[in-house]
């Protein structure tokens, strides 16, 4: 099993050591007042989000969260509250933006570490599509929309916050390459609901994730549509191409709010998924806690994966017509053939230009370009056989459906 105290850069160790002197005192009322002053708007909308915010703030007080972990949660809370205010301000002052999507979005989902990022970035290469870059996902609405005196600082801020993170996360690029201008997950704006994976992916918030897994996500997905309407407004003639593994359990919610959504679900052997997901979580949590509880972390991740699949397969029987299932192994073996299958399934036009762009991108971005991601189930206290036993129904479904039909 991996060490509970991974070796971290000197800068990270120093900050967390000095940060021990800083006592966390984050008041929910001050957070709200701070956001209201910055955005110049008072109405946060439906108050359902407060339950999640309170859960996150409770985690900040716990001894298993160190200085950088507390600062990460504080940053996410501040940004999410500001985004929430901006969304409600825009909805009240410019309601014409919030009209039904004219073009059904293409949404990639599947268990984390199933190839969703690579598939999403390939689909984004079509010039008729629009994927969203990380800087815009973190702050979808510019203050410039409300006053010409405000300069759009969103890209500059994301460059500072995202591109500079490698100082604290050594060698993270080989696990998940992310930059301010890379196409990323649409879970980030959904942080405004305070019912989001982003808190767990960043910091070991165990009680929060237990709470999250029991939540009704209906209101969250009603707000999700509003975010998509904001994105669509800037490029009304392009199809939004989105992705997030956190949509997997919510496929029913997606189709309820977006009845014409084109959903691509990619499937990978859960033995590989679990170990890779544990590895990503281990490294992302490493700077946020003085000691990683490796077995507890992996138990939580396995429960997340099981919950995602259970709810996915319960709901998908009502929306099979929206879904194109693809195999991870076949996608990696022949990415272009998988993209062609998706286009054929949804009756999308295939062009020579897109085909050439795909081949060029794949040639320049071979697997392992940023280093090889090494992981093993043994690192996290499990054997492949134990994982297979927990996911035996899904493994059987994959064999019957994907091996024969793809």
Q: pLDDT, tens digit, for every residue of 260-301?
A: 999 999 999 999 999 999 999 999 999 899 999 999 999 999
| Domain-wise residue ranges, the chain | 10-405
What is d(CA 325, CA 250) in angstroms, rounded to the nearest whole number?
A: 16
How far is 251 from 107, CA to CA, in rounded Å?
Answer: 10
Question: Which residues have CB under 8 Å from 332's CB, separation 6+?
Answer: 115, 367
Q: How far is CA 223 from the centre of its chain?
A: 16
DSSP state of 348: P
User: Tens of pLDDT along the chain (406 residues)?
Assistant: 888 888 888 888 888 888 887 776 789 999 999 999 999 999 999 999 999 999 999 999 898 999 999 999 999 999 999 999 999 999 999 999 999 999 999 999 999 999 999 999 999 999 999 999 999 999 999 987 776 666 688 888 888 888 776 666 667 777 777 888 999 999 999 999 999 999 999 999 999 999 999 999 999 999 999 999 999 999 999 999 999 999 999 999 999 999 999 999 999 999 999 999 999 999 999 989 999 999 999 999 999 999 999 999 999 989 989 999 999 999 999 999 999 999 999 999 999 999 999 999 999 987 767 667 788 889 999 999 999 999 999 999 999 988 765 4
Nearest to 135 by CA among 166, 197, 181: 181
**pTM of the complete model:** 0.93
| Geometric angle at alpha carbon 218, from 216 and 219, rounded to 5° | 110
Name the CATH topology of 10-405.
Rossmann fold (3.40.50)
Distance CA 347, CA 341 (A): 10
DSSP-assigned letter for residue 261 = -
Decide if 274 contacts 302 (C-beta within 8 A).
yes
Q: What single-letter DSSP state applies at residue 266?
A: E
pLDDT tens digits, 135-187 = 999 999 998 777 666 668 888 888 888 877 666 666 777 777 788 899 999 99
Quote the distance between the C-alpha of residue 96 and its chain's center: 28
According to DSSP, residue 95 is labeled: G
Pairing of strands 106-109, 262-267: parallel
């Amino acid at each position: 099993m991996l060490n509970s105290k991974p070796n971290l850069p000197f800068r990270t160790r120093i900050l967390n050591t000095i940060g021990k002197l800083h006592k966390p005192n984050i008041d929910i009322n001050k957070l709200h007042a701070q956001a209201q002053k910055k955005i110049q708007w008072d109405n946060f909308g439906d108050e359902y989000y407060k339950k999640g915010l309170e859960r996150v703030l409770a985690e900040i007080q716990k001894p298993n969260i160190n200085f950088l972990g507390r600062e990460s949660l504080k940053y996410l809370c501040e940004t999410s509250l500001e985004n929430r205010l901006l969304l409600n301000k825009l909805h009240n002052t410019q309601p014409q933006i919030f009209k039904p999507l004219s073009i059904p979005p293409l949404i990639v989902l599947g268990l984390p570490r199933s190839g969703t990022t690579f598939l999403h970035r390939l689909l984004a290469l079509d010039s008729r599509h629009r994927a969203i870059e990380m800087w815009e996902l973190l702050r979808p609405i510019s203050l410039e929309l409300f006053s010409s005196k405000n300069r759009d600082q969103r890209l500059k801020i994301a460059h500072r916050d995202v591109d500079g993170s490698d100082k604290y996360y050594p060698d993270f690029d080989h696990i998940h390459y992310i930059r301010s201008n890379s196409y990323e997950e649409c879970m980030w704006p959904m942080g405004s609901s305070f019912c989001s994976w982003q808190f767990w992916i960043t910091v070991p918030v165990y009680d929060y994730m237990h709470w999250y897994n029991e939540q009704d996500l209906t209101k969250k997905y009603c707000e999700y549509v509003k975010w998509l309407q904001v994105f669509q407004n800037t490029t009304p003639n392009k199809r939004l191409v989105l992705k997030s593994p956190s949509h997997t359990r919510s496929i029913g919610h997606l189709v309820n709010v977006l009845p014409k959504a084109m959903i691509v679900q990619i499937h990978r052997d859960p033995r590989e998924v679990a170990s890779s997901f544990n590895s990503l979580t281990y490294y992302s949590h490493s700077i946020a806690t003085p000691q990683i509880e490796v077995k507890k972390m992996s138990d939580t991740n396995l429960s997340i994966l099981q919950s995602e699949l259970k709810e996915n397969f319960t709901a998908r029987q009502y929306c099979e017509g929206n879904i194109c299932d693809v195999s991870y192994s076949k996608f990696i073996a022949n990415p272009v053939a998988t993209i062609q299958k998706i286009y054929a399934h949804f009756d999308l036009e295939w062009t020579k230009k897109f085909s050439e762009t795909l081949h060029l991108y794949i040639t320049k971005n071979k697997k392992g370009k940023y280093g090889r991601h090494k992981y093993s189930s043994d690192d996290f206290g499990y054997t492949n056989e134990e994982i297979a036993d927990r996911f035996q129904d899904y493994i059987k479904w994959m064999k019957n459906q994907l091996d024969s039909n793809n």
